[in-house]
Amino acid sequence: MSDKFDVIVIGGGPGGYVAAIRAAQLGLKTACIEKWLDKEDKPRLGGTCLNVGCIPSKALLDSSHKYHDAKEEYGVHGISVGDVAMDVDAMINRKDKIVDQLTGGIAGLFKANGVTSFEGFGKLLANKKVEFTAHDGTVKTLDAENVILATGSIPVNIPPAPRTGDIIVDNEGALEFRSVPKRLGVIGAGVIGLELGSVWARLGSEVVVLEAQEQFLSVCDQDVSKEAAKIFKKQHLDIRLGARVTGSQINGEEVEVTYLDAKGEEQKATFDKLIVAVGRKPFTDGCLAGDAGVNLDERGFVFVDEQCRTSVPGVFAIGDIVRGPMLAHKASEEGVMVADIIAGHKAQMNYDCIPSVIYTHPELAWVGKTEQELKADGVKYKVGKFPFAASGRAMAANDTDGFVKIIACEDTDRILGCHIVGGQAADLIAQAVIAMEFGSTAEDIALTVFAHPTVSEAVHEAALAVDGHAIHVANRKKRK
């Protein structure tokens, strides 16, 4: 005898658990299957994001930043703290406690909203049946009117540097160091590599980042990537571009990495720990039966339309296993959209207004088009920039690195993109996202009253600068 549900969600990460809660709120009988087990083999909701991704990495970033400020910055404010020491065990334990609270919170939300939780592995069969295998090996078949695939992603491995014990690790292993490595190597200068490299650099590691691409942060607006490169250099992150790793050899408690530099010459570097952070790939292994009917591309992504429908009616896919950026908030909003569609409501997402953030310090955040993309497309545009060095509030906080950059259409003044380097960029970018979602112009922001003194005024001034009207910085063009 099978169990019947209106919606079965396979995956309990930020896409899956949000989809399940939303579907249940809309009156649908909903189940969510999640396979995650913690370090003690206890079932956990939240997927990669809550367990070994977004949340724990931010906990370490905040702890290490507070340590750095106490050691290096408090003196500017007249604060003497004497010798400062970091208890790494306490930092890691705090991170684990936060993860426990949040993952337990999801279980509570499932109970409050009437979501049935299955702890184990879900596999889509033909005719929207789902095979559920519990952690004890028990197998049962569930029936669903609708299935949402939300199985997430896993780290990409590279043959020259296979994960080995606790010396060559991925992002998950880098969250568990119990002491500060003297020499830390990071393969990949993307979001994960830069964030984790920053954590341990602040605590005293000599960090070398090996990046195969010759352009730093090519996904960012070039003004942002250039500014970030200068700042990271001051922070003693040794970022080597055009460095293609060809091999690694563990010798006792250290690893020797061989790579070709930008000139094609072989180089060697020795580290106590090596983090491999070269990207992630969709996780669908074992999740789809051969006759399930769901189509994948050559990279393993599930084919979906703009509303996340797969090739099988009643089967949807969201998050990291479909096109678009691998971002938790993108997955969550797709989960809400799909639940609404299943419930019979009209719903859609604006994929042009999905913000991205790198949580280094200063933070990097952006939404919309970059200047190089607009140039390549032949779009006429205008730019306004405002540096935090001219912000009274940023000066008061002694946090003046970076700027806000707003790009607007030359003809319509509509905002096409916003790019921020700064101490609160992750929060400030939301203002630009909201403005773009409502089709605002640069003038709309320029005519909006911002509180003073705030770092948000930098967004206001950047919008004013688009047409040469900035007040607190010299304008690049004459005022009209």
The least confident of 295-309, 387-401, 403-417, 464-478 is: 464-478
Rounded Cα distance, 71 and 77, in Å: 12
pLDDT tens digits, one per residue of 244-287: 999 999 999 999 999 999 999 999 999 999 999 999 999 999 99
State yes or no: 152 annotated in a binding site: yes
pLDDT of residue 1: 36
Tell me which residues are annotated as active site: 452
Rg (CA), the chain: 24
Residues 334-355, mean pLDDT to the nearest whole number: 97
pLDDT tens per residue, range 177-199: 999 999 999 999 999 999 999 99
* Domains of the chain listed by start with CATH number: 3-155+281-349 (3.50.50.60), 168-278 (3.50.50.60), 353-465 (3.30.390.30)
The answer to whether 58 is annotated as binding is yes
pLDDT at 235: 95
The annotation status of 368 as a binding-site residue, yes or no, is: no
467 is in an annotated binding site: no
Structure confidence at residue 289 (pLDDT): 96
With cut-offs at 50, 70 and 90, classify the pLDDT of residue 410: very high
Do the annotations mark residue 443 as ligand-binding? no
353-368: per-residue pLDDT in tens? 999 999 999 999 999 9
Q: Is 324 annotated as a binding residue?
A: no
pTM above 0.85, yes or no: yes
Predicted confidence at residue 480, as pLDDT, reads: 47
Q: Is the pLDDT of residue 479 over 70?
A: no
pLDDT at 477 (0 to 100): 65
Is there a binding annotation on residue 31? no
218 annotated as ligand-binding: no
Three-state secondary structure readout of the chain: CCEEEEEEEECCCCCHHHHHHHHHHCCCCEEEEECCECCCCCECCCHHHHHHCHHHHHHHHHHHHHHHHHHHHHHHHCCCCCCCCCCHHHHHHHHHHHHHHHHHHHHHHHHHHCCEEEEEEEEECHHHEEEEEECCCCEEEEEEEEEEECCCEEECCCCCCCCECCCEECHHHHCCCCCCCCEEEEECCCHHHHHHHHHHHHCCCEEEEEECCCCCCCCCCHHHHHHHHHHHHHCCEEEEECCEEEEEEEECCEEEEEEECCCCCEEEEEECEEEECCCEEECCCCCECCCCCCCECCCCCECCCCCCECCCCCEEECHHHCCCCCCHHHHHHHHHHHHHHHCCCCCCCCHHHCCEEECCCCEEEEEECCHHHHHHHCCCEEEEEEEHHHCHHHHHCCCCCCEEEEEEECCCCEEEEEEEEECCHHHHHHHHHHHHHCCCEHHHHHCCCCCCCCCCHHHHHHHHHCCCCCCCCCCCCCCC
Q: Is 35 annotated as a binding residue?
A: no
151 among annotated binding-site residues: yes
pLDDT digits (tens, 9 = 90+) for 60-103: 999 999 999 999 999 999 999 989 999 999 999 999 999 999 99
Average pLDDT, the chain: 96
Is 241 among the annotated ligand-binding positions?
A: no
Q: Confidence band (pLDDT; 50, 70, 90) for 288?
A: very high
The answer to whether 190 is a known ligand-binding residue is yes
Q: Residue 3: what pLDDT?
A: 81
What percentage of the chain carries pLDDT values higher than 70? 99
In the predicted model, is pLDDT for residue 2 greater than 70? Answer: no
Per-residue pLDDT at 457 exceeds 80: yes
Give the pLDDT mean for 463-474: 96
Annotated binding residue 247: no
Q: Determine whether the annotation assigns residue 440 to a binding site.
A: no
pLDDT tens string 142-167: 999 999 999 999 999 999 999 998 99
At residue 214, does pLDDT exceed 90? yes
